[in-house]
Structure 1
Amino acid sequence: MVEHRMVDVNGIRLHVAEQGSGPLVVLLHGFPESWHSWHRQFGPLAEAGYRVVAPDQRGYGSSDHPEDVDAYSIFHLVGDVVGLIRALGEEKAYVVGHDWGAPVAWHTALLRPDMVRGVAGLSVPPPTRPKEPPLVTMEERFGGRFYWNYFNRPGVADAEFARDTRTTLRKFFYSASGDAARSGEVKQPLVDPDKGWLDSMPDPEVLPEWFSEADLDALTESFSRGFTGALNWYRNLDRNWELTAPWQGARVTTPALYMYGDRDVVPAFPGTPELIRKLPALMPNLWRDPVELAGCGHWTQQERPEEVTSTLIEFFRACA
């Protein structure tokens, strides 16, 4: 059974869900999610002999939501993972992340390889520091319409998403899923800054089979305090670029796994398909070639829970 508690970490309190015993596995969610996005992995991973822990990351759910935008830098986020591993009485962990959780997982392995048995990223590939700040780059490439730039406008997306939290989340989860992308065409996530994003998203009459009304209930409750903390992660993109200058050209050297859906918009971001093709050459300990899940959209571990979980278990055992 999944148990819940609060843990003091890195100067804040994190809500964590936990099940099982054995080597520690830390599961890091993305946007706009919570620990619940991993609920289908808990039982199988615990039964396979692992201690599974998924936090609500800072700014999400029942965890603390620092007010200062600067409190959401990549160093803070990695510090939370390092502090969590220590607070759980462990020295090392398998670290797995999806969406925004993936950069946190990758950077944990990059900055603290001594604490990472193996790292897995879903949707977002390992970091390569670009020549220019990402928000500046996307502002120029898409005329300010890329969703990162929309999120960077103080209070704007916060207000749009909070008007009807349940509808916001229902639209997000359907529109980025493999179900909505049946045509196979993956479009860049562009937003009219004057109209907002939600009006352009389809609103399904029936949820996909993998995403129940109960899942939507849990997610809606987790955003009862609004979206600002979660959006503050995006508002640090250029700051993260500045902070990680010392790691320009550095590579993740711990055993690594990358999985993504072929209908996910993130692997289609500018420059990302080329990066994915180069990963086997860039990462000395990449376990297998990148794993592509046919017909899968952005919500990797929720849309394909059995495939993701079984692949993770196989990867963990290969790392042991």
Structure 2
Amino acid sequence: MSSTRVITANGIELFIREEGQGPLVVLCHGWPELSYSWRHQIPALAAAGFHVVAPDMRGYGQSAAPSDVSAYSIFDTVGDVVGLVQALGETRAMVVGHDWGAPVAWHAALFRPDIFTAVAGLSVPPPFRARGKPLDLLRQGGVTNFYWQYFQTPGVAEAELERDVAHTMRVVLGGRGLADPTAAMFVQEGKGFLGHASGTEALPNWLSEADLAYFTETFRKSGFRGGLNWYRNIDRNWELTAPWQDARIHQPSLFIAGSKDAVITGLIGAKRVNELERVLPNLKRKLIIEGAGHWVQQERPDEVNSALVQFLKESAAQ
């Protein structure tokens, strides 16, 4: 049975769920999620012989949410994971991330190969540092309504998402009833981020009303600003990571995504998935789960758990 506690790491308080004994595995969630998003992985990895720790990431849930936008750079978020490993009394860990947690995991492996001995990323491919700032490149390409852009101005997305948190979580996690999931990434004028969906669709079979209620209650208390601030550092992260231009992640690595995930089916995402080995020369497996969407570890826990257990066991044995 997993337990929870609050631990101080990197100068802030992080709420964590943990279970098991053995080599340390840190699970990093994405947006708009929580450590609860790993509810199917924590017991499975603990049963396989690992000490599993999943924090509410900076800005989320019961963890600290600094008010300054600049406190959410990739250095801060990776610093939290490094600090967490140290606060747990360990010197080594394997790191797994989903959605926004994936860049944290990839960069943790990139920045601190002395600590992170293996890395798995779910849904978001590893960093391919482009020729310019991501938001600049979008504008230059004639794109002005991508959701990253909508999230930039403090207060705008918060007001929409916090108006009815239950509706927000039902739409974002429960799916938007769209034939083309990539359409959800573009914000129609005057309709906001949630404008595509009615929110009256039945929940998918992997998300119960009780699960949804937990996410809703937690975000009702915390608000959305902390998580949105991660998006407000996208260009800054590009600037900060200049020293790692064309750097590669040499540790054993694993990539998992759903075949219907808009992150990997779009033009850029598909290209990156095809070129994973450019950044991950020690890629052990690329698992694309047929029919799964973006919330892959919640949608298809058995397949994800099986792949993670095999990968982590092999990596721990090296």
Residues 175 and 202 of structure 1 are in contact (CA less than 8 Å); yes or no, is this contact kept in structure 2? Answer: no
The 3 A distance-change label for structure 1 pair 228 and 184 is closer
Q: Which amino acid aligns with 2:191?
A: K
The 3 A distance-change label for structure 1 pair 236 and 193 is farther
Specify the alignment match of 2:154 in structure 1.
Answer: 154
* Structure 1 position 314 matched with structure 2 position 310: yes
* C-alpha deviation, 1:194, in angstroms: 3.0
* C-alpha deviation, 1:96, in angstroms: 0.3
SS of the residue corresponding to residue 275 of structure 2 reads helix
SS of the residue corresponding to residue 70 of structure 1 reads helix
Superposition RMSD in Å:
1.5
Residues 110 and 251 of structure 1 are in contact (CA less than 8 Å); yes or no, is this contact kept in structure 2? Answer: yes
Specify the alignment match of 1:208 in structure 2.
Answer: 204
SS of the residue corresponding to residue 14 of structure 2 reads strand
Residues 186 and 263 of structure 1 are in contact (CA less than 8 Å); yes or no, is this contact kept in structure 2? Answer: no
1:144-171 deviation digits (Å, cap 9, x = unpaired): 2000000002210010000001110110
* C-alpha deviation, 1:141, in angstroms: 2.7
| Equivalent position to 2:193, from 174, 193, 197 | 197
- What TM-score results when the alignment is normalised by the length of structure 2? 0.95
SS of the residue corresponding to residue 195 of structure 2 reads helix
Unpaired runs of 5+ residues, structure 1, are none
Q: C-alpha distance in 2, partners of 1:269/1:186?
A: 7
* C-alpha deviation, 1:281, in angstroms: 4.4
Range with greater deviation from structure 2 (71-80 or 262-271) = 262-271
Specify the alignment match of 1:111 in structure 2.
Answer: 111
Q: C-alpha distance in 1, partners of 2:184/2:268?
A: 12
* Structure 1 position 49 matched with structure 2 position 52: no
Specify the alignment match of 2:289 in structure 1.
Answer: 293
Q: C-alpha distance in 2, partners of 1:280/1:101?
A: 20
SS of the residue corresponding to residue 91 of structure 1 reads coil
Residues 188 and 269 of structure 1 are in contact (CA less than 8 Å); yes or no, is this contact kept in structure 2? Answer: no
* Structure 1 position 302 matched with structure 2 position 311: no
Q: C-alpha distance in 2, partners of 1:239/1:29?
A: 21
Specify the alignment match of 2:248 in structure 1.
Answer: 251
Range with greater deviation from structure 2 (250-259 or 216-225) = 216-225
Specify the alignment match of 2:268 in structure 1.
Answer: 271
* Structure 1 position 242 matched with structure 2 position 251: no
The 3 A distance-change label for structure 1 pair 192 and 88 is same
The 3 A distance-change label for structure 1 pair 141 and 27 is same
Residues 25 and 93 of structure 2 are in contact (CA less than 8 Å); yes or no, is this contact kept in structure 1? Answer: yes
The 3 A distance-change label for structure 1 pair 191 and 140 is farther
SS of the residue corresponding to residue 259 of structure 1 reads strand
Q: Which amino acid aligns with 1:311?
A: A
SS of the residue corresponding to residue 282 of structure 2 reads coil
Residues 147 and 190 of structure 1 are in contact (CA less than 8 Å); yes or no, is this contact kept in structure 2? Answer: yes
Residues 181 and 262 of structure 2 are in contact (CA less than 8 Å); yes or no, is this contact kept in structure 1? Answer: no
Provide the aligned length of Structure 1 versus Structure 2.
315
Instruction: Please give the residue correspondences for 1:122-201 in structure 2 after superposition, counting only pairs within 5 Å.
Output: 122-175=122-175, 180=177, 183=179, 186-187=182-183, 189-201=185-197
Specify the alignment match of 2:215 in structure 1.
Answer: 219
Q: C-alpha distance in 2, partners of 1:49/1:56?
A: 22
* C-alpha deviation, 1:208, in angstroms: 1.0
Q: C-alpha distance in 1, partners of 2:15/2:39?
A: 15
Range with greater deviation from structure 2 (22-31 or 199-208) = 199-208
Residues 73 and 230 of structure 2 are in contact (CA less than 8 Å); yes or no, is this contact kept in structure 1? Answer: yes
Q: C-alpha distance in 2, partners of 1:202/1:274?
A: 32
Specify the alignment match of 2:17 in structure 1.
Answer: 17
Aligned-pair identity in percent equals: 52
SS of the residue corresponding to residue 199 of structure 1 reads coil
Instruction: Please give the residue correspondences for 1:31-70 in structure 2 after superposition, counting only pairs within 5 Å.
Output: 31-70=31-70
The 3 A distance-change label for structure 1 pair 59 and 213 is same
* C-alpha deviation, 1:193, in angstroms: 4.7
Q: Which amino acid aligns with 2:300?
A: R
The 3 A distance-change label for structure 1 pair 146 and 64 is same
* C-alpha deviation, 1:186, in angstroms: 4.3
Q: Which amino acid aligns with 2:148?
A: W
- What TM-score results when the alignment is normalised by the length of structure 1? 0.95
Q: C-alpha distance in 2, partners of 1:104/1:77?
A: 6
SS of the residue corresponding to residue 118 of structure 1 reads strand
SS of the residue corresponding to residue 199 of structure 2 reads coil
* C-alpha deviation, 1:293, in angstroms: 0.4
Residues 65 and 229 of structure 1 are in contact (CA less than 8 Å); yes or no, is this contact kept in structure 2? Answer: yes
